[in-house]
Amino acid sequence: MTAFVPGLEGVPAVESRICTIDVENRRIIIRGESLEKLALERRYEEVAFLLIHEHLPDADEMKEFTKSLSTERVIPSAVITGLTCMPAGIHPMDLLRTGVSGLSAYDPEIDDVSVEANKRKAVRLLAKTGLLVGNLDNISVRKTFQLADDKLSHAENILTLIKNGKTQPWMSKPFETLFILYVEHELAASTFAARVVASTLADMYGAVVAGLAALKGPLHGGANEKATEIFEFDVSGAEEYVRDKLGRKERIMGFGHRVYRRGIDPRAEIAKQLLEEACGKVGDDRLYRVADHVERLMEREKNLYPNLDFYAAALYKLMGIPPKFYTPIFAASRVAGWAAHVIEQQAENRLFRPRAIYKGPL
């Protein structure tokens, strides 16, 4: 057997045409396109199409894809009813995971793992997951369900539903840019979990549920919820908060990354610029000053740099989005990435079956 590598750090597990992280040049490539450039110049629907269909859409393809999303943005009433019966106070990610699992019963192609069927399921999951995420508070608190507005983009619909219609014009662009930045990031824990499940030839819904389960963890998607704690303080209070946690050898969520070792996450650089611009538009730069100060403090004290979750948390807070929705928003975006990986995995499948180094008695 080969040497044991804890957490499989740096161990190649698949050959993929979907995404790579160019650490040396600090850029992320999705199907030959720069994620950073896509986030600044494209709509989420275009990037999702790229992930699923392997090329950017032309005008006719984009029109048809958008129409398909609109058509598939329907949740069976039985799924909604079942979710409204869940206990009060349930975490939105648990509600979302249950909802996606329930949707599988209504997909006519559930057990067809062909490439074309998987592409159609990807569109269904993308549309329905976004609508569920936008309605999580409606379902669990108000026991209602709101429909999407076909005049709005996919990301704008999610923002508008989460905010119960109380959005401001400046929010749409930074929200969608963040939404695109979360769409795909190679073999993160949730993506690997989805591919492992897909390798058994289980259906795409099961693989996405596995991704959702992994994403909830505080060391993965759940990090953005914890990162927002820093932004409850002013600059001096944030420094005291960080130094206190460091003194107790506790992790500062939103800092450090398994892949980015020697500098800031390139996605975080974009999010930082978005935060500065948004603070200028609302006329209050407290969140930016706190973020910038903590970033420099962590570099000096721990040689750690912010990842996307850190600045995303600040932006979501500025938008008035409750922290419990940060990870579901991440999930609504990443569905496109998970689906692309499921399609790729099942197109040329090999079951994942690693070995363990036994340390017990013989």
Cα gap 159→267, rounded to integer Å: 20
What is the pLDDT at residue 81? 96
Q: Cα–Cα distances in Å, from 259 out to 74, 190, 250, 262?
A: 38, 15, 20, 9
Within this chain, do residues 187 and 247 fall inside the same structural domain, yes or no? Answer: no
Within this chain, do residues 159 and 307 fall inside the same structural domain, yes or no? Answer: no
Within this chain, do residues 235 and 217 fall inside the same structural domain, yes or no? Answer: no
Within this chain, do residues 82 and 198 fall inside the same structural domain, yes or no? Answer: yes
Within this chain, do residues 263 and 338 fall inside the same structural domain, yes or no? Answer: no
Within this chain, do residues 76 and 210 fall inside the same structural domain, yes or no? Answer: yes
Q: What Rg do the C-alpha atoms of the chain give, in angstroms?
A: 20
What is the pLDDT at residue 220? 87
Asked if the structure places residue 28 within a domain, the reply is yes
Catalytic residue among 107, 137, 309, 341: 309
Closest CA to 312 of 273, 257, 261: 273
Cα gap 255→309, rounded to integer Å: 8
Asked if the structure places residue 308 within a domain, the reply is yes
Element (H, E) at 238: helix 235-247
What is the pLDDT at residue 1? 59
Within this chain, do residues 41 and 176 fall inside the same structural domain, yes or no? Answer: yes
Number of domains in the chain: 2
Within this chain, do residues 181 and 46 fall inside the same structural domain, yes or no? Answer: yes
Beta-strand runs (E) in 157-250: none
Asked if the structure places residue 264 within a domain, the reply is yes
Any idea what the CATH number is for the domain that residue 275 is in? 1.10.230.10
Could you confirm whether 220 is annotated as catalytic?
yes
Cα gap 350→8, rounded to integer Å: 18
Domain range holding 283?
223-318
Could you confirm whether 91 is annotated as catalytic?
no
Asked if the structure places residue 11 within a domain, the reply is no
Could you confirm whether 309 is annotated as catalytic?
yes
**Residues 326/228, Cβ–Cβ less than 8 Å:** yes
Cα gap 334→83, rounded to integer Å: 22
Catalytic residue among 203, 257, 265, 341: 257
What is the pLDDT at residue 261? 64
Within this chain, do residues 174 and 242 fall inside the same structural domain, yes or no? Answer: no
Asked if the structure places residue 9 within a domain, the reply is no
Asked if the structure places residue 160 within a domain, the reply is yes
pLDDT per 10-residue tile (average), the chain, 362 residues: 82 95 90 97 98 98 98 97 93 97 98 98 98 96 94 98 96 98 96 98 98 93 88 97 95 83 84 98 98 96 93 97 97 98 98 92 96
Within this chain, do residues 118 and 134 fall inside the same structural domain, yes or no? Answer: yes
For 198-247, write each residue's pLDDT tens digit: 999 999 999 999 999 999 998 888 888 888 999 999 999 999 999 999 99
Sign of CA dihedral 97, 100, 102, 104: negative
Any idea what the CATH number is for the domain that residue 338 is in? 1.10.580.10
Asked if the structure places residue 2 within a domain, the reply is no
Within this chain, do residues 83 and 204 fall inside the same structural domain, yes or no? Answer: yes
Element (H, E) at 281: helix 266-282
Q: What is the dihedral of CA 161, 163, 167, 172, to 10 degrees?
A: -60
Asked if the structure places residue 325 within a domain, the reply is no
Catalytic residue among 154, 220, 265, 341: 220
Cα gap 243→60, rounded to integer Å: 54
Within this chain, do residues 115 and 54 fall inside the same structural domain, yes or no? Answer: yes
